[in-house]
Structure 1
Amino acid sequence: MKALNDAAFQQGLHPVRLSAVLLPVHEVEVRATTRTSRPYGLIDKFIERTIAETRVTAVSEIAEVLALQPALVDRAVRVLRRIGHLPAHSNALELTDLARESLRDGHCYEERREDRRKIYFDGYRCEPLHRRHYGKPTSFLNYAEARALEEQDSRLVMLPALHQFHREALNTLARRTDRAEFNLPSSVENPQDVRPEYVYLRLYIIRALARGGNVRHLAYAPDAGLEYDEHLSELCSSTPDITGFLDQSTAPIADQERRIRNWLGRLGLTGIDPMRHPDGSWHVDLPPGEFHPKGSRQESSVGSFLDLWTVAVRVWCEDPDVRQRALVARTRMILRRAGYRPEELPDLVSHLGAQLEHPDLDVHGLRALVAEAGEQDLAAELDRYLERTSDTP
């Protein structure tokens, strides 16, 4: 599974278990003023500069200074009032803060009111969710939908929603320089929450062990492409309401082993003993006959983790021929996958080396291994990559 493999080979941890949860989230409808920018009209800019640099306060006086028809200046003044550069309900011609900022920056800023958007904050610390959760695939569920989904899927658990939304959280977000990363661009001003309510986000949480035995919980959202979410991972690792649930739901070691043996039994492999490492992770060494072409299992699964509900287990095979075929299969998958970008190849190859126990594998080393396996088409493709990168300054 993608999330388990990321936890092991990208984050450098030892996955023990994957839990499927529904994370409570504050959905906050926000009413705000938006600011847009456009080039200044020539007359508008001169009128504002005249007001700023002189003491004139009447249309006729501005017309005289600029040598323009009063009717033309009057029309421009009405436009400046409408866009918030002059007071709307006063005869005085005094620049607003918006007008002064516009003159300072050389762009005509305009305010458009009644912008409404939804901002999402986690249900425990009221910290904003990254904009990756705002894409079309993301589906936030209301309470009834979340409860119905929990009843349909026995693995899925709704985490408790006990905390009220803190209104200061929105103000804190508005002050952040990176607020656009959380669906609040700088063009949105004076945001005010209208109606906070609870919704739920589907989340996979991987219980993993770091060096020294420290427990960490890594979060991956299925609707956001199963990308590692650093913020939600830190939340899940440090929030007692979440860690307490995850600790209670961790199966005893004997139950973990029983689950793995039952899986092996369904494969007809009752003679294989699962191995538990000192770090708490498990692996099984499957015989070569389980893999193609004799068996039904793809060689590309060698080195990957499998989710068995209460425990995660790494699939392995010590046979050198199977592991070589696994390397070839995984290389072909990398180079043929949709959306493959050549600049990603070094990281992908390093990841592959970690999975198949080729320490410090790089593109040159991979090219040599696939050529040794007789896969000349893959070797040629890697040659083309190496030629392109050698020409890059």
Structure 2
Amino acid sequence: MSPAVARGRQVYPARRAVEHAVALDGVRPLRLFPVLWPLWQVETTANVYDEQAYEVIDWFVVRAVREAGFHRVDDLARFFGTPVPLVRRCLAFLEVIGHLRVEADAVRLTDLGHRAAAAGIRYVPKESRQDLYVEQYSAQPLPRRYYQGSVPIFATPEVPEDRLGDRSRFQPLFAPTAFQPSIVEELARRPDRTEFNLPRLLRELSVLRHHDAFLPAYVVETADRGLLVYTAVAAERDSLFEEVCRQVPTIRNMISAEERGDPREIWTAWLAEGRAGRGTLRQLPNGPNRRHRDRGGVPPEDRGAGPAVGGSRADPGRAAAVRPGTQAVRPVGPPGRTRMIGADDVTDRGGRGGLADEQRRWDEEDEQRCCAEDAFGVYD
């Protein structure tokens, strides 16, 4: 089996997940984890029946066996008034395609032969190979929506640079489970198997081989220890993988084990550096921190710079950093037009793009404050 190929479009940027998470009522996101979710790609083989029209003599031979009760070769030849060798050739072909069996000149239809005769269609079996994707933690097959060309799935725990929508650093998750062929066998018996990319016409399904595959996803940890999961399947949360997080404590434990930083210490230290001009950090009654910035704004020489956050240089004065081992994110833009982008996307680019252009635009519009609420607080 050839390895799973990277398919689908670019991995969508982290800001899409963050934008949705921060807009949820009653949800306070804390940290964002770009991960590669472990799947199994399973190659199966099965028989699929090609529907063809009966040849005239084949059709009448089948009807004579099924409806008239002729079960011997000589009786069929005598009934049709044809030479015995011609009848034998016809029976030999029908036996090859599985419609009947001939034993000691006795003829009987198989189950396939009865179904074909009842439908008036000659079913010709052909081998078909079908790839299935199975989530490793829960061992459940993925529904058909995950087979869309827009959903990227990779053969290795590395995302090619040209497939990244931003500079998120994806880390593979590890599932301590072993693949069992019974997963596919149980799926084959399900009446809704077509919803899991297994066509109804496939019969005698068997597993040839399997190997690992990886689905890019963003896991967002919330203040109430909840986990939100986002994949390319939809613009909103992925309910299937969120349910896996609820069912499998391993995922929650891995997230909890990641080192945490104190948001207030992070932003207080950044303010002390004075890169965003004069300002103070205050905690609001409902929990978030608010940065009050003097109207002087960001000095031109420091625009677009900031401390290293999550492996990138970001501007925490206007940023929502998602701390250690995670992807940093930040909101930019004046009130009412807040958007979330990856911290790596706002590094200084020599005056082209990034905070420098954003700051000039805000100055031109005479808007001297930026207010955004996120996991760590609200800043203006």
Task: Specify which of 223, 233, 239 is matched with residue 230 of structure 1.
Answer: 239
Deviation digits for residues 178-228 of structure 1 (CA, Å, limit 9, x no counterpart): 32232321122222222233333322112246xxx4x43233335x56664
Task: Specify which of 24, 27, 46 is matched with residue 38 of structure 2.
Answer: 24
**Is the 2:46–2:205 contact (alpha carbons within 8 Å) kept by the matching residues of 1?**
yes
Match of 1:83 in 2: 97
Alpha-carbon distance, 1:101 to partner: 2.1
**Is the 1:146–1:158 contact (alpha carbons within 8 Å) kept by the matching residues of 2?**
no
Measure, in 1, the Cα distance between the counterparts of 2:173 and 2:122.
48
Measure, in 2, the Cα distance between the counterparts of 1:276 and 1:35.
67
Mapping for residues 7-156 of structure 1, pairs under 5 Å? 7=21, 9=23, 13-65=27-79, 73-87=87-101, 91-113=105-127, 115-136=128-149, 138-142=152-156, 145=158, 155-156=169-170
Alpha-carbon distance, 1:289 to partner: 11
Counting matched residue pairs gives: 299
- Distance of aligned partners of 1:250 and 1:172 in 2 relative to their CA distance in 1, 3 Å threshold: farther
Identical residues among aligned pairs (%) = 26
Alpha-carbon distance, 1:78 to partner: 3.2
Name stretches of at least 5 consecutive residues in structure 2 with no aligned partner: 1-14, 298-302, 305-317, 339-371, 373-380
Name stretches of at least 5 consecutive residues in structure 1 with no aligned partner: 291-295, 298-304, 327-355, 357-393
Alpha-carbon distance, 1:122 to partner: 1.5
Measure, in 1, the Cα distance between the counterparts of 2:290 and 2:145.
33
- Distance of aligned partners of 1:108 and 1:19 in 2 relative to their CA distance in 1, 3 Å threshold: same
**Is the 1:17–1:309 contact (alpha carbons within 8 Å) kept by the matching residues of 2?**
yes
Q: Which has the higher helix share?
A: 1
Measure, in 2, the Cα distance between the counterparts of 1:178 and 1:263.
57
Q: Is structure 2 residue 321 aligned with structure 1 residue 308?
A: yes
- Distance of aligned partners of 1:227 and 1:111 in 2 relative to their CA distance in 1, 3 Å threshold: farther
Q: Is structure 2 residue 226 aligned with structure 1 residue 216?
A: yes
Q: Is structure 2 residue 166 aligned with structure 1 residue 158?
A: no
Alpha-carbon distance, 1:20 to partner: 0.9
Alpha-carbon distance, 1:88 to partner: 7.4
Letter in 1 for 2:242: S
Letter in 1 for 2:114: R
- Distance of aligned partners of 1:191 and 1:167 in 2 relative to their CA distance in 1, 3 Å threshold: same
Alpha-carbon distance, 1:127 to partner: 0.8
**Is the 1:82–1:88 contact (alpha carbons within 8 Å) kept by the matching residues of 2?**
no
TM-score of the superposition, structure 2-length normalised?
0.61
**Is the 1:286–1:317 contact (alpha carbons within 8 Å) kept by the matching residues of 2?**
no
Q: Is structure 2 residue 266 aligned with structure 1 residue 258?
A: yes
Measure, in 1, the Cα distance between the counterparts of 2:56 and 2:289.
72
Match of 2:276 in 1: 268
Query: Secondary structure at the residue paired with 1:125?
Result: coil
Task: Specify which of 251, 256, 260 is matched with residue 247 of structure 1.
Answer: 256
Task: Specify which of 175, 178, 181 is matched with residue 167 of structure 1.
Answer: 181
**Is the 1:26–1:123 contact (alpha carbons within 8 Å) kept by the matching residues of 2?**
yes
Structure with larger Rg: 2
Measure, in 2, the Cα distance between the counterparts of 1:225 and 1:90.
61
Measure, in 2, the Cα distance between the counterparts of 1:61 and 1:316.
89
Q: Which has the higher strand share?
A: 2
Query: Secondary structure at the residue paired with 1:93?
Result: strand
Letter in 1 for 2:220: I
Deviation digits for residues 6-56 of structure 1 (CA, Å, limit 9, x no counterpart): 445589854333211122222222222223333444543332222122321
Query: Secondary structure at the residue paired with 2:112?
Result: helix
Measure, in 1, the Cα distance between the counterparts of 2:124 and 2:87.
19
Measure, in 1, the Cα distance between the counterparts of 2:104 and 2:239.
51
**Is the 1:43–1:76 contact (alpha carbons within 8 Å) kept by the matching residues of 2?**
yes
Mapping for residues 292-303 of structure 1, pairs under 5 Å? none
Alpha-carbon distance, 1:277 to partner: 8.4
